[in-house]
Structures are given as structure tokens and as C-alpha cells.
Amino acid sequence: MEHNILVVGGNGLVGKTIIRILKSRNPQINIFIGGRKGGTGNHLKIDVTDPGTFQVILEKKNRSGYSFCE
């Protein structure tokens, strides 16, 4: 079973620290970084004030084969 973690606000100081710790302790998990700006790769554009942006999670799941908890 693949494990995936979405860190919303992962581009800030605290989020980056959490991601670094998660990666070092669990190298086998997929970590996705959600933020207002988005980006490439595992950086997803997600704005908690705009529920429509959460659609990117399902799109990423369908393209990559990753299985997110829904």
C-alpha cells in the first residue's frame, strides 16, 4: 500500500520543516505540498478558501496513479 501525505501550507517555514522531517523519517512515502501558488511536481495549487482548487488532488491522483484518502 502506498502512503501519501498532503501538507497544506507546505511552502512556509513550518511547512518546509515538517516536510523535511517527514522525508527523513519516512523516505518511502509520497509527500505533496499544497499552497496558493502551486508549482511543478509534488507542489499542488490548493487554496483552503476556494474549495474548487481541491480538484487538483483528484486530477493528480488520476494522472499519477497515486491513491489519496478521500
pLDDT in tens, 13-63: 898 899 999 999 998 888 888 887 777 777 888 887 888 877 777 776 555
Identify any residues that bridge with 44 across adjacent strands, giving them in sequence order: 34
* Interval 8-17: pLDDT, tens: 888 888 988 9
Enumerate long-range contacts of 11-14, CB under 8 Å, 24 or more apart: 11/35, 11/37, 11/43
